[in-house]
Structure formats: C-alpha cells, structure tokens
Amino acid sequence: MSGNPCEGCPVSCCLKMGLFLPKSEFSQHFQRHEEVLVIRQIGKIFVVSPKEGQVCPYLHNGGCRIYHERPIDCRVYPYIMSHIIEKRNKVKIVFHTRSDCPKKSELYHLMPESEARALIIAFGKKIYGESKTIIAHRESGILSQFCNRFEARLSRSLNKMTLRWKKILSKK
C-alpha cells in the first residue's frame, strides 16, 4: 500500500465510483468478488461498482491492497472516464476532472493530463486493439458535457441498430 497518496483519506472516493474495465482487468481483479459488486457489461467493457453498503474489495485500512497493480481507470484518478463513443475506425474516450477528491490538485501533479491521456489511450487499445484509433477527449464545460452525452447515446443507438441489421441480413 505504500506510495498511495490516498492512503488514510477519510473521503474514500473509490467507494463511489463505477470502474470501466477491459475483460483482462475484470477477470484478474473483480470477477471473483461478484457478491459485493454490481457488474454490467456494455459492449466490450465491464463496469463495476460496489453494491449498496459494500466497498471495493481491495479497500483495506484506508488504502488499496492492489495499488501497484490497480486497473487503468484507478490509475488515471482524479481524471474520470465518463463516456466511450465507438465509431467505425475510431473510439473516443471522454474524461473529465469533476471529482470530489480533496487532494485532486496534489494528484494532478502526480498524474499530469498528458500521462492520463496516454493511459486512457492504452485502455482503449487494450479493449479495441491496436488497429483502432483511440482519442482521449477531455470535457471542458457544460456544453462539452452535453455534446459528449448526446454523442455517446447516439453512438450506442447506432451500434445497436447496426447489430440488428446484421442479424436480419445474416438470416436471409
């Protein structure tokens, strides 16, 4: 647990978050903890959150037991991935800085935005492969937030519609 700047913090931001995970990180760290987690799979991404009244299974004495092996979504904190927008040859991963972390200005010095972007792109490559172009996009205000939410919903709807058409066409 040493080296963890969050160790001993009373806020425990990791109790409130839903993590975006590639299958490899989900299988390695969270699959065996289904009794304390809400798990959803959205496309190729697993989203895990603590069940009501539960905590992250790795939170122990105010610190993380897997701090040095933690998932990418934990590594980029206090930057928060909020939307993943899939298009044909590219994937846009939206992140923001609206966390309640009392130490976030200190954490920004430990994790500059350029490093967070690189990790977010690595996260995208882990899920979608090296051939996809991955764009890490930082939300910069209310209008940007609205546009990204709209684009994410539209992208999900179009992806579902495409899958339905492929299914229909494959039956013919």
- Alpha-carbon span 1 to 33, nearest angstrom: 20
Q: Tell me what percent of the residues of the chain surpass a pLDDT of 70.
A: 89
The answer to whether 37 and 54 have CB atoms below 8 angstroms apart is yes
Averaged over 110-135, what is the pLDDT?
Answer: 94
* Global model pTM greater than 0.85: no
| Amino acid 2: pLDDT | 54
Could you tell me which residue, 146 or 83, shows the higher pLDDT? 83
Q: In which band, very low, low, confident or very high, does the pLDDT at 150 lie, cut at 50, 70 and 90?
A: confident
Q: Output the pLDDT for position 89.
A: 87
pLDDT value of residue 1? 41
| Average confidence (pLDDT) over 105-123 | 90
Outline where DSSP puts E strands in the chain: 19-21, 37-42, 45-50, 59-60, 63-64, 80-86, 90-96, 133-138
98/82 Cα distance (integer angstroms): 10
pLDDT tens track for 40-66: 998 899 999 988 878 888 887 777 889
Question: How many helices, marked H, and strands, marked E, lie in the chain?
Answer: 5, 8
pLDDT of residue 62: 73
pLDDT, averaged across the chain = 84
* Token reading at 54: 């539960």
| Least confident interval from 48-57, 80-89, 157-166 | 157-166
